[in-house]
Amino acid sequence: MDRDDRGWNGDRQSADGRGEDPPVFHPLGRAGLYLGLFLLLQLLIGVPALLLWLALTGTRPDVVATGEIPIGAVLVVYASLVPVMVPATVVFLRRLDRRPLASIGARLPWSGAPGALREAAFGAGGAVALLLVWLAVAALGAELSFGGLSESFLSEHAWLPGGRPGPFGGAVALAFYCLGFLIQGGLEEWVFRGYIYRAFRERWSWATSASATALGFALLHGPNPGVETVGLVNTFLLGIVMAAVVEGTGTLWAAVAAHGIWNFVMANVLALPVSGAKVWALFSFELEGPAWVTGGAYGPEGSWLLTGLVVVVLVALARWVDRTA
């Protein structure tokens, strides 16, 4: 599949192949407006959704001030943003960028886009493989203990987010988090590797565009609890990896699946911290050792060992993207 077939052609064409008017504003201006809208909606929609979730689950509102917001609440906040961000993106693309929605790689699997499901499987599989390789190497320099299925999952009424008992055991909680992380990761990819990355690609190379979007992505994670330099470095590098995947496949779905499954497997399968927070998990895992290996309380993303592995992956992806250019 060449670049024109995937919609990454340099010419400005509409969905039916006809030329369109030039975009409004510089790409930096459009990206800034779009990112500003995303942040504004987190206040206007996300905060009320967060407070409602806290009230329904009986969680004290003061957790917002302490920064100890439950991951389940964060996932609900992201889900509340999707019904607004998607149509807002369409408006931005039509009015300012003068491009169709498909130009950011957001083709529906049934719309004739070749290999959308295959690309999603590629992204998910790659994320799981990287995480398992990191875990295997980390276990050489740390103490890994595996306690089997967690007591929460095996209990007759596993606790759902917020302390609500679930009638179907841990399967309900597992499904909730899997869907939630796919939505959360998907929205972040939609914003950064979708609209913003594609706007930058009008003027700059994929490497420059990837680095610029990855920098904004890393800064967005700056307020995370317990974040340190290594966490921001890894977030930045993983952002470039996601952009390379989008550039190489021509769709968002590989990046969406990789992002969501990475968080889900790390948090809810392996019981490892995600950006400094732990949550309900399928298995009981403990990884104890030097912070540069394990990532400490921040999780794998706070590990310098992961940095080395991501650099290797990034070099391979960069060569792949250059070959498909």
Quick one: tokens of 125? 């599989």
What is the H or E stretch that residue 275 is in?
Answer: none
Q: Which residue has the higher pLDDT, 171 or 208?
A: 208
Instruction: Name the nearest CA neighbour of 251 among 263, 240, 243, 241.
Output: 243
pLDDT score recorded for residue 187: 96
Half-sphere exposure of 312 (CA within 13 A, CB side): 9
pLDDT score recorded for residue 225: 73
Residues 148-166, buried b or exposed e (16+ Cβ, 10 A)?
Answer: eebebbeeeebebbbeeeb
Contact assessment for residue 46 and residue 74, using Cβ atoms and an 8 Å cutoff? no
The Cα 53–Cα 61 span in angstroms is 10
Distances (CA, A) of 91 to 34, 78, 205, 226, 249: 11, 20, 25, 37, 25
The Cα 187–Cα 206 span in angstroms is 21
pLDDT score recorded for residue 63: 64
CB contact set of 82 (below 8 Å; sequence gap of 6+): 183, 187
pLDDT score recorded for residue 109: 56
Residues 238-254, buried b or exposed e (16+ Cβ, 10 A)?
Answer: bbbbbbbbbbbbbbbbb
Residue 286, beta-bridge partner list? 145
Q: In sequence order, what DSSP letters do the residues of 128-173 get, joined into one string? A: HHHHHHHHHHHHHHSEEEEEEE-HHHHSTTPBPTTSPBPTTTHHHH
Quick one: tokens of 135? 């875990």
pLDDT score recorded for residue 56: 83
pLDDT score recorded for residue 5: 40
pLDDT digits (tens, 9 = 90+) for 180-205: 999 999 999 999 999 999 999 999 99
Q: What is the dihedral of CA 314, 317, 321, 324, to 10 degrees?
A: 170
Contact assessment for residue 57 and residue 75, using Cβ atoms and an 8 Å cutoff? no
Average pLDDT across the chain, whole number: 84
Whether 293 shows a pLDDT value over 70: the answer reads yes
Whether 7 shows a pLDDT value over 80: the answer reads no
Contact assessment for residue 70 and residue 59, using Cβ atoms and an 8 Å cutoff? yes
Whether 325 shows a pLDDT value over 80: the answer reads no
Q: Which residue has the higher pLDDT, 19 or 243?
A: 243
The alpha-helical segments, DSSP class H, found in the chain are 27-41, 47-57, 63-66, 71-92, 116-141, 151-154, 170-189, 197-200, 206-220, 229-249, 253-264, 291-294, 304-324
Quick one: tokens of 315? 């070099």
pLDDT score recorded for residue 145: 86
Residue 287 phi, psi dihedral angles, 5° rounding: -125, 110
pLDDT-derived band at 69, boundaries 50, 70, 90: confident
pLDDT score recorded for residue 9: 39
Quick one: tokens of 312? 């290797």
Whether 11 shows a pLDDT value over 50: the answer reads no
Average pLDDT of the segment spanning 283-298: 89
